Structure 1
Amino acid sequence: MKPMICTAIRSKMIIRFYYNGGFRKLEPFCYGVSTSGNEVLRAYQTSGYSKSGNPAGWKLFRVSEISSLKITGEYFEDIRPGYNPKDPIIKRIYCCV
């Protein structure tokens, strides 16, 4: 999964995956290891399922809970407001925008 996520991040390609009850569509920005030792993905969700009922916005996903990951072939161009490439939750970065 790591190569696919990093390819999407470096190419600014939108991804889709199943997570915590439903499919989500996201702009991936940063992938690495969290301060608690889990592989995580910081992404901006644009649509799809949300357990909280708020499908759009910045979210942090535990990679071990992601399934059915697909690169959609769609691209995103802009850096979303609020993006921090030095995310304090991610202590080791594999790849980022």
Structure 2
Amino acid sequence: MPNEVICKAIENEKKLKFNYKGHPRWVQPYIHGWTADGDEMFKGYQTAGGSESFSNPQWRNFKPKNISELQLTEEDFTRVRDDYDIDQDNNDYDEVHCKVDR
């Protein structure tokens, strides 16, 4: 199940590698849960790979149902980004499954 891999990456501060909507992505995951609409989602900082907008790096929301080839990498992201707004993210999720510790 994808959320177990996503939460393991969050808990161990490891990057994820996956394909999303046909583009390879390398992402630092920060929070995973469900929205008020019942959608499973996680937010991460995409550091490399492609996208429909072709602009990296940046914060993005991802729906696991659109992910293929999900891999937990050994690449660390031990410093939480200064621009990570945990208070805003807590408001975006109806139920939080896992998130980075500040």
- Shorter-chain TM-score tier: over 0.9
Gaps of 5+ in 1: none
**1:12 corresponds to:** 13
The question of whether the paired residues in 2 share the 8 Å contact of 1:34 and 1:91 is answered with yes
1:42 match: secondary structure = strand
Q: Say which structure is richer in helix.
A: 2
**Identity over the aligned pairs, expressed in percent?**
32
1:91 maps to amino acid: D
| TM-score, structure 2 normalization | 0.89
| TM-score, structure 1 normalization | 0.93
1:26 maps to amino acid: V
Could you report, residue by residue, the CA deviation over 1:39-77 in whole angstroms, capped at 9, with x for unpaired residues?
001000000011111121100001111110001111101
CA RMSD across the alignment: 1.0
Q: Which moved more, 1:84-93 or 1:52-61?
A: 84-93
Q: Say which structure is richer in strand.
A: 1
**1:93 corresponds to:** 96
**2:24 corresponds to:** 23
Indicate yes or no: 2:45 matched with 1:44.
Answer: yes
Equivalenced residues, count: 97
1:90 maps to amino acid: Y
Could you report, residue by residue, the CA deviation over 1:14-45 in whole angstroms, capped at 9, with x for unpaired residues?
11000012100000000000122100010000
Task: Report deviation, 1:84.
Answer: 2.2
The question of whether the paired residues in 2 share the 8 Å contact of 1:30 and 1:41 is answered with yes
